[in-house]
Amino acid sequence: MFALFENPRLRGGIHAEEHKTETSSLPIATDFPLPKKLYIPVQQHVGKPAEPLVMVGDKVLKGQLLAYSQGTISAPVHAPTSGTIVDVKDFPAPHPSALPIRTVVLESDGLEQWAELNVVEDPFQLDPEEICLRVGAAGVVGLGGAVFPSAVKLSLGRKNKIHTLLINAGECEPYLTCDDRLMQERAAEIVAGIRLMLRGMDAPKALVGIEDNKPEAFAAMREATRNLPNIVVSQVPTRYPMGWDRQMLRYLTGQEIPADGRATDIGVVVHNVATAYAVYKAVCLGQPLISRVVTVSGAALAKPQNVEVPIGTLMSEVLAYCGLDKAKMARLVMGGPMMGDALPIAEVPVVKACNGILALSHADIEEPEVQPCIRCSSCVTACPVGLLPLEMASRIKVNQLDAAVDLGLKDCISCGSCSYVCPSNIPLVHYFKFASGELVKRQQAEHKAEQTKRLIEDRNHRMERIRLEAEAEAQRAAEARAARLAAQQQAQQAKAEGTEKTAPGVAAEETA
């Protein structure tokens, strides 16, 4: 079922059942029928949501800008095909909650008519700043799951004097093979994207890490980089979670990212292999990110395969294309089975972060009965972060969240390795996710309390200032009244004194 490994550059991890053979040998399906309607969320990335600039009734062309980015950490979205904007509304998101998010609804006209593309003659002669601008304008984000705006990382890399670009091609999650097939079929384009990334960051070299269960992809990438000594393609052990950037970086470079730091702190920037392909399309072809390759797999499907899907396509349509048997499907998952999200409905759109759609059967998700812990320490051995999962779970059970934090709860990446290897079937990662949610709620409550306290203090200061100003005004008014009264009294006294001085003269005149 699983295996544990010993390697001085690796920590923890498991070898889960792969379930990759169903799709890894099949070419990417590029004949997916164009949907009648596409639902394009304006929030498909880390940061602020894009702001729609189209209105209902507008005619748009394929690749045309639908919503522009807001601020530095944001990304625009574009039309995956030509057609008419029929609505801008809230629509269920591809999230376990399925809560609605702002979505542009595009009705396709079937013409696939492109907007004018800005293509340069020699993209490898562009200035680094221009490369970053083109990547940002194309809406390219991290396609490995982080969906961080790629242009920001490229610009950040140049500012931080990055010496190594690490291309993560681990794809360690079971079932997922979209990156594998992308490397097998489009290695030259991926390498072109890597070269553009290096130029955009002004970095001297790149490392590409590919798990050793992908020999065809490794061979294709090695061939594509044969005359490029500054791009080194290496194999890494097949072990989950090798796709975790810290694990990949530690193995390939021997360096460790600080606990509270980032890869840039040690001169490295990490991008996904699919992101490199998107960068190639953005800079060399002038095409924005409007589609992506998705692994569609699971026992409930008749034709599991990798499919190139327009962004905004409903997952239900993708599943139908791959022969879904609804009676067999017990769970729908976006992403991989270890760290993906279980979705309540299939009527949600494919977004930039979607690298997999899994239709799992009851046999796939069968959960055995939880047994008491036997203190075997398998969870400790499997943890890639070097934590003590059982001890953290014990603290969380008795609501000692601070004690769990002291044991490293915030460093947990929720990879599920500990739960996978536990012979007692204890859902350890569920405890950690619960505790993380409780910590977030606590922080929000503390933040709200601090805000309330600050508002009360501000109000008290304001009322005190008003009181003091009123008292000062009253004091000034009293002083003004006293001054006027004194002036009046002085005037009356002066008048009286003047009268007394003139009275004897008047009497003398009367006597005469």
Can you say which residues are annotated as belonging to the binding site for [4Fe-4S] cluster? 373, 376, 379, 383, 412, 415, 418, 422
> What pLDDT does residue 505 have?
53
Q: Please give the pLDDT value at position 156.
A: 83
- State the pLDDT at residue 368: 83
How many Å apart are CA 232 and CA 213, to the nearest integer?
A: 18
| Sequence ranges of the binding site | 373, 376, 379, 383, 412, 415, 418, 422
**Model pLDDT, residue 8:** 59
Instruction: Give the CA distances from residue 92 to residues 95, 154, 319, 340, 413, in Å, rounded to whole numbers and listed in that order.
Output: 8, 32, 18, 18, 27
Q: β-strand 205-211 against 59-60: which pairing, if any?
A: unpaired
Q: Quick one: DSSP state of residue 54?
A: -
Q: For tokens 């295996």, what's the residue?
A: 3
pLDDT at position 512, please? 46
Confidence at residue 487, expressed as pLDDT on a 0 to 100 scale: 86
- The answer to whether 150 touches 201, Cβ cutoff 8 Å, is no
Rounded CA separation 69/296 (Å):
30
Structural domains of the chain, ranges and CATH numbers in brackets: 21-321 (3.40.50.11540), 378-432 (no CATH)
Concatenating the DSSP letter of every residue in 264-288 gives GGGTEEEEEHHHHHHHHHHHHS---
- What string of pLDDT tens digits covers the 512 residues of the chain? 344 445 657 788 898 899 999 999 999 999 999 999 999 999 999 999 999 999 999 999 999 999 999 988 999 999 999 999 999 999 999 999 999 999 999 999 999 999 999 999 999 999 999 999 999 999 999 998 889 999 999 998 777 889 999 999 999 999 999 999 999 999 999 999 999 999 999 999 999 999 999 999 999 999 999 999 999 999 999 999 998 989 999 999 988 888 778 888 899 999 999 999 999 999 999 999 999 999 999 999 999 999 999 999 999 999 999 999 999 999 999 999 999 999 999 999 999 999 999 999 998 887 789 999 999 999 999 999 999 999 999 999 999 999 999 999 999 999 999 999 999 999 999 999 999 989 988 888 888 999 999 999 999 999 999 999 999 999 999 999 988 888 888 888 888 877 666 555 544 454 44
Q: What is the DSSP letter of 263?
A: G
